[in-house]
């Protein structure tokens, strides 16, 4: 895929998520690796619904702004994930309704915020570790994500929202949508006797993938 195609795909996927309520206002950010040293990302404060392919920001892996509009301050944690998870080629960070609500629950299981009850949650995401709260832009977010990146595909920032990786941008968006739907089901099932997936089936699903 050419750089221009990557730009157009990012704009199209962002607009699709915005139109369906996964992103609001200027919240959240997206990025995709253009090559081994350049990352295409959404500009600071930009809305998923009003992006322009030609003005997207490009930074290198050191965080230097190369072209386009000023990148989001949160691009720092995208870069830290890329450095520590070679299989990640794209990242979606949302403030989506159900996952953000989940991130605000006191006493949530920090090793895995959602105990598996659907197969596609296991195959697309696996575990969802929770990172302690830090103010947006705090360097500790990048440090913690970098620490977890080698072993996890998605992460939940406490009182903030999810960060999801993928092998490409389309894969990352699909993973994000599956994760948000799982969080929605989590809330719909509160008070019910949930049939969780067994550990043996989880191991099979983890090997199978999507």
Write out the DSSP string of 116-133.
--SHHHHHHT----EEPP
Name residues whose C-beta falls within 8 Å of residue 115's C-beta, 6 or more positions apart in sequence.
109, 196
Active-site residue identified among 69, 74, 178, 180: 74
Calpha distance 170→147 (Å, rounded): 25
* 74 catalytic per annotation: yes
Beta pairing, strands 130-131 & 154-157? parallel
Active-site residue identified among 69, 80, 98, 120: 120
Q: Are residues 26 and 45 in contact, defined by beta-carbon separation less than 8 angstroms?
A: yes
* 120 catalytic per annotation: yes
| Angle (CA) 34 151 128, round 5° | 95
Residue with tokens 């199209």: 12
Annotate 20-81 with three-state secondary structure.
CCCCCCCCCEEEEECCCCEEEECECCCCCCCCCHHHCEEEECCCCEEECCCECCCHHHHHHH
Calpha distance 128→164 (Å, rounded): 10
Which residues are tagged catalytic?
74, 120
């Amino acid at each position: 895929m050419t750089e221009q195609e990557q730009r157009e795909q990012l704009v199209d996927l962002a607009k699709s998520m915005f139109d369906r309520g996964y992103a609001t206002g200027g919240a959240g950010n997206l990025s995709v690796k253009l090559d081994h040293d350049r990352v295409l990302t959404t500009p600071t404060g930009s809305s998923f619904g009003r992006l322009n392919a030609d003005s997207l920001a490009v930074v290198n892996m050191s965080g230097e702004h190369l072209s386009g509009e000023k990148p989001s301050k949160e691009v720092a944690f995208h870069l830290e994930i890329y450095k520590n998870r070679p299989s990640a080629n794209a990242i979606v960070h949302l403030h989506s309704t159900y996952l953000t609500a989940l991130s605000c629950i006191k006493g949530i299981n920090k090793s895995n915020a959602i105990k598996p009850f659907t197969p596609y949650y296991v195959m697309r995401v696996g575990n969802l570790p929770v990172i302690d709260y830090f103010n947006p832009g705090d360097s500790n977010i990048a440090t913690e994500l970098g620490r977890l990146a080698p072993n996890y595909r998605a992460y939940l920032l406490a009182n903030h929202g999810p960060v999801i990786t993928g092998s490409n941008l389309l894969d990352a968006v699909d993973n994000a949508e599956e994760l948000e739907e799982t969080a929605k089901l989590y809330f719909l099932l509160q008070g019910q006797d949930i049939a969780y997936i067994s550990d043996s089936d989880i191991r099979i699903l983890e090997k199978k993938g999507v």
